[in-house]
Structure 1
């Protein structure tokens, strides 16, 4: 009688490893969802604002599904640039605007020349981009209100959409210290409304899905008459300068550790001495200037320490994953659905093409699909405009604080940004009306496209610099002890100069500069065609 091997209840190494790996990945996923989801959603908002709606509707009505490839390409460009902005903020603890000041404000040679010829013009261009963005959001939201309530004048819609955003932003400052989850939740709800509404709309119309999927491949339409011009418009409307500033600033926040204990600095002691309770205290807190950070203590990037390696490991990859998921899974999808909607409703092969705008899309849905679809379209546009307005107004605060160290209260900075875009919006709405609003939407996207190369270049250069992106290794994270007399020269060098390099490799740097060159050439093409009057 043969003996059988003894039975054992101990699991094998494979069975032990599998549950453990599942638990590890489940824990990482839970940490990501509870701690890190937020930056990607906020940055994705800029990529389907009302300006994008206008360009996507134009592309779909004129070329059908053929320019979906450009939508996808613009989304991939956005992922790369936003990833660089995220890495800059996580590694260095400073946003892009503050880095530009540190780079150009106090140069060793000719500091005033760099300030007036580089820093301040770059700040002015950034402000123009913020105002142009906010203007497009105001006009888009005003159009949505006018579609929902036809008796409401356009100028009244502009005023309503301007001040309701100020009321929301008055509650908290989503930039300094730890993230404001309520702000991120408001943005997430608005984004979800846009996505759900667009999915409902596309499900109610007849779409040639085979042609739509083929549209994500390159086609001859890119080089046909008007195709390249419209493609440039998609690129310019998709990649927003203010989103790069915002993404780098949000990436500096600590989203993992518990709330640190803040020691009373002189400025804080002075604030507590004048603190009031009740309404007076709330108003005083609302108008209180922000505290300056420590970036002014350093004259160059070489002197300034970056974040610790544990902080970078806890935030960098989570932040980039969140950006990739939201930009490709939400922003690209929404832009694609808008273009598909316009193609299915307006594009008729073999007939004379007509350029559709937001009003045309609403009227067509009302006539051919029904009032419910038209209302859903207006609600999606309103949610897109309001979420983008929140993001653009906060970005204006980042730009002024980073470039100029302008220490006014966040509420006052948002109010100024709003007024600068509110005045021309009301004037256009009153004097020109519907035609003027469509023209202003297109013009705002052209301005953003022209400003974009001036923002991309410093971003790629900073993230490719070893001096800017180096981090002390754990061995030398603390201040090193003074070298001993009997230490060799090599030992002294290792003790004081051990760094980890987080700068771009030559592949990523090459891709970044290639994107900059593509946008630059595209802008040159747009400017020439506009001058010659042979644009779209």
Structure 2
């Protein structure tokens, strides 16, 4: 009896081997697709998440854990959810409109049809001043936190010396180009991602060496009566104010405008200049001429860093002055960036910021509240106290990891705050200065008060100043959230025009009427949605949730001011 060919070979009849190969190929394609999308779109969320575990957060989390144990972990989680919601709004604003939050504030309040000076001097410029105060307060906390970390690692280094060393990281930013350009600077994102991973790994290793009651810790993520006691409520407001950062909303909206898919072709001007340089180098007859050429090239490069080029000036001059003179991103751009950006933002904030903040609070609870350094509710723990007790109770290696995590947190947050300052000034004022000059100004505005405190007050005044910066950020936050929620809830701002069908033909003599452009007005009239637009504004549920968060932040600020 002979066997049929398809029975002799199971691969020919689509047997188990073929099915297995089919699933392997399918999984390979899915995995490669996920990797490709992650490589292109991951970055903005990680950069924005840095602001939510900066040294200011460390100080508040240590205070919360040392005084109330694990009970305030619910506030850490709630603040992280608030931050993720607001950052998603900022991401949607940038992707859909192609403008950052600061530029939108200028469009809203700079050239109003009525009472222009009143809107400018009564709303726009005060809002800009508040935004700059938020940047300075943030950078102040980052500089002091990094300086503390350096003094913990090198005890012979004075605190003011640590501030100077920390302030030098602006040189690193200058070497990265412009992270706010049309296309992302991946080196900048990779550096931030490496620092974030360093913080997470260091905290994970430290937690592994601490005796944590994980049952009680997970119970802390459930609301309890402890939160509503007077002292705990004040600390809870501090956690909320230290978590949701105004400058991160500005930066997140700006980075979301970047095109993360297309590869910009090399301009003929740059290629021509490179050829000229090559000819100059090859034509150099002597070493002296070669050195002179290098000097001229270096001088031109340095000068270009501090001088705005003619092309950049023209780009600033053609920036729209009202919504009447601009168009949002194309529907194709929005669909290819929006949901990837939202997933990147939420996963980064919940996967890095919330976890790191929770680990800091758990560490303070296990070491100070339940451990050998039980302070109870009498005295909150500071960064110096935490390092000393970790060194004595756990070991020198854990103390070094604690200082390294604090240093990585401060350095990454300081980089992000400096770039956010550039975005704020460019958006609000349309400044005609180079990004390098703006970053230097931002760094100096934070460096001067940091040096003053480090020299005059010393380590004893650091904790007070860190808390003061978080209070300032908490008070400023509602003024930044308000325009963000308003803009993302407006149909006339968040709508995208549908592309015209390619197969449509127009007969001669037929008049084509385009829909009227978006016009500014003092009021926000109801927009009749037509089939030519896709509305990406917040729905009723998202709008209600956004305004509810705004009311919670306002109520928290009122409570803090009354308590103070």
1:307 aligns with 2:329: yes
Q: Residues 170 and 286 of structure 1 are in contact (CA less than 8 Å); yes or no, is this contact kept in structure 2?
A: no
- Which secondary structure state, in structure 2, belongs to the residue aligned with residue 475 of structure 1? coil
Aligned to 1:388: 413
Q: Which has the larger radius of gyration?
A: 2
Q: Residues 50 and 353 of structure 2 are in contact (CA less than 8 Å); yes or no, is this contact kept in structure 1?
A: yes
1:400 aligns with 2:425: yes
1:508 aligns with 2:535: no
Output the CA distance in 1 between the equivalents of 2:515 and 2:55. Answer: 59
- Which secondary structure state, in structure 2, belongs to the residue aligned with residue 334 of structure 1? helix
Pairing of 1:20-31 with structure 2 (within 5 A): 22=27, 25-31=30-36
Pairing of 1:94-105 with structure 2 (within 5 A): 94-105=99-110
Cα displacement (A) at 1:281: 2.1
In structure 2, the CA distance between the partners of 1:141 and 1:352, relative to structure 1 (3 Å rule), is closer
Cα displacement (A) at 1:289: 2.2
Pairing of 1:464-479 with structure 2 (within 5 A): 464-475=489-500
Q: Residues 50 and 196 of structure 2 are in contact (CA less than 8 Å); yes or no, is this contact kept in structure 1?
A: yes
- Which secondary structure state, in structure 1, belongs to the residue aligned with residue 411 of structure 2? helix
Q: Residues 488 and 538 of structure 2 are in contact (CA less than 8 Å); yes or no, is this contact kept in structure 1?
A: yes
Output the CA distance in 2 between the equivalents of 1:526 and 1:313. Answer: 42
Cα displacement (A) at 1:36: 1.2
Instruction: Tell me which of 432, 455, 464 is aligned to 1:439.
Output: 464
Instruction: Tell me which of 309, 323, 329 is aligned to 2:351.
Output: 329
Q: What do residues 274-313 of structure 1 show as CA deviations (whole Å, max 9, x unaligned)?
A: x985321221121132725478553432442111111112
Aligned to 1:220: 225
Q: Residues 316 and 432 of structure 2 are in contact (CA less than 8 Å); yes or no, is this contact kept in structure 1?
A: no
- Which secondary structure state, in structure 2, belongs to the residue aligned with residue 471 of structure 1? strand
- The worse-fitting range, judged by mean Cα deviation, of 285-294 and 47-56 is 285-294
Q: What do residues 490-523 of structure 1 show as CA deviations (whole Å, max 9, x unaligned)?
A: 99999x9711111111111111111111101100
RMSD: 3.2
Pairing of 1:169-180 with structure 2 (within 5 A): 169-180=174-185
In structure 2, the CA distance between the partners of 1:20 and 1:114, relative to structure 1 (3 Å rule), is farther
Q: Residues 93 and 100 of structure 2 are in contact (CA less than 8 Å); yes or no, is this contact kept in structure 1?
A: yes
Q: What do residues 66-108 of structure 1 show as CA deviations (whole Å, max 9, x unaligned)?
A: 0000000011111111111111111111111011101111111
Q: Residues 67 and 376 of structure 2 are in contact (CA less than 8 Å); yes or no, is this contact kept in structure 1?
A: no
1:9 aligns with 2:5: no
Output the CA distance in 2 between the equivalents of 1:465 and 1:326. Answer: 27
Instruction: Tell me which of 447, 453, 456 is aligned to 2:478.
Output: 453
Output the CA distance in 2 between the equivalents of 1:114 and 1:365. Answer: 53
Aligned to 1:414: 439
Aligned to 1:357: 382
Q: What do residues 101-121 of structure 1 show as CA deviations (whole Å, max 9, x unaligned)?
A: 011111111111111111101
In structure 2, the CA distance between the partners of 1:381 and 1:262, relative to structure 1 (3 Å rule), is same
Aligned to 2:559: 525
1:182 aligns with 2:148: no
In structure 2, the CA distance between the partners of 1:60 and 1:10, relative to structure 1 (3 Å rule), is same
Aligned to 1:370: 395
Output the CA distance in 2 between the equivalents of 1:85 and 1:368. Answer: 43
In structure 2, the CA distance between the partners of 1:83 and 1:205, relative to structure 1 (3 Å rule), is same
Output the CA distance in 1 between the equivalents of 2:377 and 2:427. Answer: 50
Output the CA distance in 1 between the equivalents of 2:366 and 2:80. Answer: 22
Output the CA distance in 2 between the equivalents of 1:371 and 1:488. Answer: 76
Cα displacement (A) at 1:477: 9.8
1:141 aligns with 2:166: no
Q: Residues 66 and 369 of structure 2 are in contact (CA less than 8 Å); yes or no, is this contact kept in structure 1?
A: yes
Aligned to 2:172: 167
In structure 2, the CA distance between the partners of 1:458 and 1:488, relative to structure 1 (3 Å rule), is closer
Q: What do residues 153-185 of structure 1 show as CA deviations (whole Å, max 9, x unaligned)?
A: 111111110012333434411111211111111
In structure 2, the CA distance between the partners of 1:492 and 1:350, relative to structure 1 (3 Å rule), is closer
Q: Residues 476 and 498 of structure 1 are in contact (CA less than 8 Å); yes or no, is this contact kept in structure 2?
A: no
Pairing of 1:44-443 with structure 2 (within 5 A): 44-260=49-265, 277-289=296-308, 291=312, 293=315, 297-348=319-370, 353-443=378-468
Q: What do residues 194-222 of structure 1 show as CA deviations (whole Å, max 9, x unaligned)?
A: 11100011111100000000101101111
In structure 2, the CA distance between the partners of 1:528 and 1:352, relative to structure 1 (3 Å rule), is closer
Aligned to 1:534: none
Structure 2 stretches of 5 or more lacking a match?
278-293, 518-527
- The worse-fitting range, judged by mean Cα deviation, of 132-141 and 506-515 is 506-515
Cα displacement (A) at 1:248: 0.6
Structure 1 stretches of 5 or more lacking a match?
531-536
Output the CA distance in 2 between the equivalents of 1:120 and 1:276. Answer: 43
Cα displacement (A) at 1:17: 9.3
Cα displacement (A) at 1:468: 0.8
The alignment's TM-score, normalised by the length of structure 2, stands at 0.85
